[in-house]
Chain A
Amino acid sequence: MPPRWALLLRRREILVTAAIMIIVAASTAAHSYFWASGNLAFIFADSVVIIFLALGESFVMIGRGIDLSVGAVMGLSAIIVGFRIQNHGMTLLPAVLLGAAVGIALGFGNALLVGVVRLPPIIATLGTLSVYSGLEFVVTNGNQVDTIPSSITDLGSHTVLPGIPVILLLTLPFVLISAWLLRYTAFGRSIYAVGDDAEAAYRAGIGVQRVVFLTYVISGLFAGLGGVAFLIYTSGASSTTGINDNLTAIAAAIIGGTALTGGVGGAFGALVGSVFLTVTLTAMSFAHVSDVWQPAGVGVLVLLAVVYDSRSRASQARRTPRRRRRRGV
């Protein structure tokens, strides 16, 4: 039996948090401004949108699906809500509700295609990705959202404590609720069951189709909320908003320990994965690495996470051969 701390290290959330701390410490040692409250607040505010997207993506990926359309849903929600705020003076609470409604409606489209028509998730969400990003263009009709009142954008720039922006505090409840849903409710556990082995889940009496359906609706909901967060943080939106965020969200979820093969992962993983991505990218620009190399940074991190994952799973399989091998290859 390995010591307790080694077991802790096997939890991905804790490992990634440790990595975040190491990067922050190293960057602070090199540039003292890194630890400044302004920079920390920037990092957190910068990662909020990805946190929302990765949260929704986690639900889908734990259930062994994939949602390629989260970025487009986020962008569409940001545009629709943004125009309401800009042209009709919508306030924050209705804006959040509208964003959630848009997200749920678009998530419903994915859910129908995957859960009812039973298209393979990668095909269905690829199709809706095209449709939703086209809709973004149709809705904007050449205009863009650029005047969001400061009463709303202040949430993204103001801080409660030094280094903690308001928007992060508004995000944390969603992470906690997701963690509770996934860990302590029958619905959450059945997502894991479906992702681990849909056949076994079906025979155990779980409504597999219903669970899969709901994961896509939830993914849409969080992407819709992410759109509102995007408005608050960037105070604008255009027809190309979110087009490149689909894969980043998946990358954040994977770094946070959610496996593409389903049945593994969690809400806190999405949180630390997203923060880790932003911290690393900020540290890279502090180290005078050109912005051009930021995508490569994301790519290398994903590769590292995946290689680490397969290693640790292989060693676990060696230790507990019977239980693990059941999952089959």
Chain B
Amino acid sequence: MTALDLPRRWRLPGWGTCLVIAIAAELIYFTLTTRQFAGHGTGMLDLTEQFAPTGVLALGLAMVILTGNIDLSCGANASLAAVIAGTVLAKGGGPVLAIVAAVAVSTLSGLFNGLIVAFAGIDSLLVTLATQFILTSIATSVAGASPPFGFPSAFTLIGQGSVNDMPIALLVLLVISLMVIVAVGYTGLGRSLTLIGYSPRAALYSGIAIRGSLTAVFTLCGAMSGVAGVLLAAYYNSAQPQIGTDLLLPAITAVILGGMDIFGGRGRIAEVVLAVFLLGFLSQGMLIEGDSSLSITMITGLVLIGALVIKFAFERNFRQQMRARMHRLRALSWDAHG
């Protein structure tokens, strides 16, 4: 027997571990360089209010992307929800009515997307591209020339208030994250979503209700866009018709940076949540340092590309190593028998 002297290569640890390390590094960096960032310990928590809506949006989107589809309309859908909540409040409705109306409308638009994608069999990229345009128009039209602003404090509390230093928006984000993690990881619906994304044909042959699941996932994404819209309106205390549309790209970026496969079937919701915090703290930290929001966009793009290039390179490397190992095994067994 000769000892096999295999070259040892450094392998990427789990993607979640990488994200946690990156978040820790980032928090330490900003705490050291920028005094306002940590702000007596609770400053960091307050920052989460800013990106909680993006996070909620990203979680809804993550479920859709898990099935191999995409929802480009979720940002516009959030705008619509914000505008509707604002209009109801401006017309004298209570906060509860406003929230219910906003989420209901968004859920319905999500259902509309889902029905078309599932039953007309049209690529979701095209369907949601079209509904994105349509929802933008509806939101702009409902908002009118002077979009509503200045809401009662019972409503803005959702976006700005806190319980024992814990921002309510962050609580909403965490609760929804938990719900999505459980729904995707531990329920039948979650498993069928993953399988649909992994192989639609296999899902079909194993008797999964593909159409029902797709409709459900788009409807859920619509509902989450609604929640994101309500959070936005409450945080900014106004309802501009562009308010949610700008969150589409950050949300998709968070989902992809969270290791979700854009072709579906692979990815963990928990890692998406980590990516949301990573990107959120990054942009907030840079804002406090005095960078403009557009150069932050650029940095976000670079981070996305860089992270994916690394991830893809290591995964391919890993696959090649496995293949090489298989070859060696086969050669060994050949020797043994020959």
Query: Which residues of A pack against B, CB within 8 Å?
Result: 66, 113, 117-120, 122-124, 126-131, 133-138, 239, 247, 250-251, 254, 260-261, 290, 292-300, 302-303, 306-307, 310, 329
Find out whether the CB atom of A298 lies under 8 angstroms from the CB atom of B297: no
A261 CA to B125 CA in the complex, in Å?
11
Docked CA distance A84–B244 (Å): 36
Question: What is the CA–CA distance of A260 and B298 in the complex, to the nearest angstrom?
Answer: 27
Chain B residues at the A interface, C-beta cutoff of 8 Å = 70, 72, 120-123, 125-127, 129-134, 136-138, 140-141, 200-201, 249, 252-253, 256, 262-263, 292, 294-302, 304-305, 308-309, 312-313
- Best-surrounded residue of B120, B122, B125, B133 (most CB of chain A within 10 A): B133
Evaluate whether A260 and B133 lie within 8 angstroms (CB atoms) in the complex, with A127-B308, A134-B297 already known: no
Contact indicator B301/A296 (Cβ below 8 Å): no
Residue of chain A at shortest CB distance from B295: A134
A-B contact list, 28 entries, CB within 8 Å: A119-B308, A119-B309, A119-B312, A123-B304, A126-B252, A126-B253, A127-B253, A127-B301, A130-B302, A131-B305, A134-B301, A251-B129, A251-B130, A261-B123, A292-B141, A294-B137, A295-B134, A296-B133, A296-B138, A297-B137, A298-B133, A299-B129, A299-B131, A299-B132, A300-B134, A302-B129, A302-B133, A306-B127
| Residue pair B141, A329 in contact (C-beta under 8 Å) | no
Question: Are A120 and B262 also in contact (CB < 8 A) when A126-B304, A292-B140, A306-B126 are?
Answer: yes
A120 nearest in chain B by CB position: B262
- Residue from B70, B131, B249, B305 in contact with A124 in the complex, judged by beta carbons closer than 8 Å: B305
- Bound-complex Cα distance A329 to B199 (A): 11
Closest residue of chain B to A142 (Cβ to Cβ) is B292
Instruction: Specify the chain A residue showing the minimal Cβ separation from B137.
Output: A296
* Residue contact A138 to B295, C-beta cutoff 8 Å: yes
**Which DSSP category, helix, strand, loop or mixed, fits chain A's interface?**
helix
A130, A247, A306: the one contacting B122 at CB < 8 Å is: A306
Please, which residues of chain A bring their CB within 8 A of the CB of B296? Answer: 134
Selected contact of A120 from candidates B129, B200, B263, B309, CB within 8 Å: B263
Contact B137 A299 (CB under 8 A): yes
- Smallest Cβ-Cβ distance to A140: which chain B residue: B294
A303 touches B305 (CB 8 A): no
**Whole-angstrom distance between the Cβ of A114 and the nearest chain B Cβ:** 11
CB atoms of B137 and A292 under 8 A apart: yes
Query: What 4 A-B pairs have minimum CB-CB distances, sorted nearest first?
Result: A134-B298, A130-B301, A299-B133, A296-B137
With A133-B297, A260-B125, A302-B126: A128-B305 Cβ-Cβ less than 8 Å? yes
Give the distance in Å from the alpha carbon of A247 to the alpha carbon of B248 in the complex.
13
Asked if A118 meets B133 with Cβ closer than 8 Å, knowing A128-B301, A131-B305, A306-B127, the reply is no
Residues of chain A contacted by B309 (CB below 8 angstroms): 113, 117, 119
Q: Which of B130, B141, B304 is most buried by chain A, counting CB atoms within 10 A of its CB? A: B130
Q: Which residues of B contact A292 (CB under 8 A)?
A: 137, 140-141
Nearest opposing residue in chain B for A248, CB measure = B133
Distance (whole angstroms) from the CB of B300 to the closest CB of chain A: 6
User: Does A136 contact B312, Cβ atoms closer than 8 Å?
Assistant: no
Kindly provide the distance from the CB of B38 to the nearest chain A CB, expressed in whole angstroms: 27
Q: Are B130 and A302 in contact (CB under 8 A)?
A: yes
* A129 to B297 alpha-carbon distance, docked (Å): 9
How far, in angstroms, from A293 to B136 measured CA to CA in the complex? Answer: 9
A130 contacts B297, C-beta separation under 8 Å: yes
* Pairwise interchain contact B299-A134, C-beta atoms closer than 8 A: yes
B313 contacts across to A, CB distance below 8 A: 117
A251 to B132, alpha carbons, bound, how many Å?
12
A303 pairs with B127, CB closer than 8 A: yes
Q: What is the distance, in angstroms, from A328's C-beta to the closest C-beta of chain B? A: 10
Q: Are A310 and B134 in contact (CB under 8 A)?
A: no
Q: Are A130 and B137 in contact (CB under 8 A)?
A: no
> Which has the most chain A C-beta neighbours within 10 Å: B123, B129, B263?
B129
Distance in angstroms from A207 CB to nearest chain B CB is 20
Bound CA–CA A122/B138 (angstroms): 27
How far, in whole Å, are A228 and B132 apart by their CA atoms in the complex?
28
Q: Shortest beta-carbon distance, A182 to chain B, in Å?
A: 22
Contacts of B138 in A (CB 8 A): 296
Closest chain B CB from A192 CB (angstroms): 19
Given contacts A136-B294, A247-B132, A293-B141, contact A254 B126 (CB under 8 A): yes
Question: A118 vs B132: C-alpha distance in the bound complex, in angstroms?
Answer: 28
- In the complex, what residue of chain A is closest to B143 when comparing beta carbons? A292
Given contacts A126-B304, A251-B129, A293-B141, contact A310 B256 (CB under 8 A): no
Within the complex, the shortest CB–CB distance from B32 to chain A, in Å, comes to: 25
Give the docked Cα–Cα distance between A250 and B128 (Å): 13
When distances are taken between beta carbons in the complex, the residues of chain B under 8 Å from A307 are 120, 122
B312, A118: Cβ atoms under 8 Å? yes
Chain B contacts for A239, CB-based, 8 A: 294
Min C-beta distance of A212 to chain B, whole Å: 16
Q: State A66–B126 Cα separation when bound (angstroms).
A: 12
